[in-house]
């Protein structure tokens, strides 16, 4: 049901942005609502990595943990996230990184629905707002990790 899509031009290379988003264990340091993240398993296959990860998110007194499969495709500069278990009916998330003359375009897409109408009512608005802040949070993190480039368009 809820979907969010954003494209941002950032002054960092596709390789840098891919590496930053692929480093999921660091998310609790800067991603809105993310309280913890742990990797259950990691498998390398044909130059790709498949991770199974648990992410805990929270807002005020509400805490939820969900499990996803994260497929890292460095050759394509794509990160594909599929839902496994938790409070959602479904969740699909895709990141892609395309070259630009002065950095890259970061494309973020997420489509999800909560299982519970009550949880959707309580967390839905907060999730929507958090997703709108995601792209900016990653851009700010890239500026910290890689240094500031030219201002983004």
**Domain holding 38: CATH number?**
3.30.530.20
Strand partners, 63: 58
Q: How far apart are CA 48 and CA 85, in angstroms?
A: 22
Residue 52, domain member (yes or no)? yes
**8 Å CB contact between 78 and 95:** yes
The predicted pLDDT at position 3 comes to 87
Cα-to-chain-centroid distance, residue 84: 16
**Token pair of 63 as six digits:** 């805490």
Residue 151, domain member (yes or no)? no
The predicted pLDDT at position 1 comes to 64
E strand intervals along 14-121: 34-45, 48-59, 62-73, 78-85, 88-100, 103-114
Range of the domain at 114: 3-146
Number of domains in the chain: 1
**8 Å CB contact between 109 and 116:** no
The predicted pLDDT at position 153 comes to 42
The segments of the chain whose pLDDT lies below 70 read 1, 124, 149-153
The predicted pLDDT at position 58 comes to 83
pLDDT tens-digit profile of 91-100?
999 999 999 9
The predicted pLDDT at position 78 comes to 98
**8 Å CB contact between 95 and 74:** no
């Amino acid at each position: 049901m809820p979907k969010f899509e954003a494209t941002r031009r950032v002054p960092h290379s596709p390789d840098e942005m891919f590496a930053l988003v692929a480093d999921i264990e660091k998310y609790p340091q800067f991603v809105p609502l993310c309280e913890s993240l742990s990797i259950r398993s990691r498998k390398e296959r044909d130059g790709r990595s498949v991770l199974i990860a648990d992410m805990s998110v929270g807002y005020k007194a509400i805490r939820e943990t969900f499990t996803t499969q994260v497929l890292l495709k460095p050759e394509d500069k794509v990160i594909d996230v599929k839902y496994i278990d938790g409070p959602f009916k479904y969740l699909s998330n895709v990141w892609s990184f395309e070259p630009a003359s002065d950095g890259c375009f970061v494309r973020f897409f997420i489509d999800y629905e909560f299982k519970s109408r009550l949880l959707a009512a309580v967390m839905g608005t907060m999730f929507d707002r958090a997703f709108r802040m995601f792209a900016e949070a990653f851009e700010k993190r890239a500026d910290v990790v890689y240094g500031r480039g030219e201002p983004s368009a």
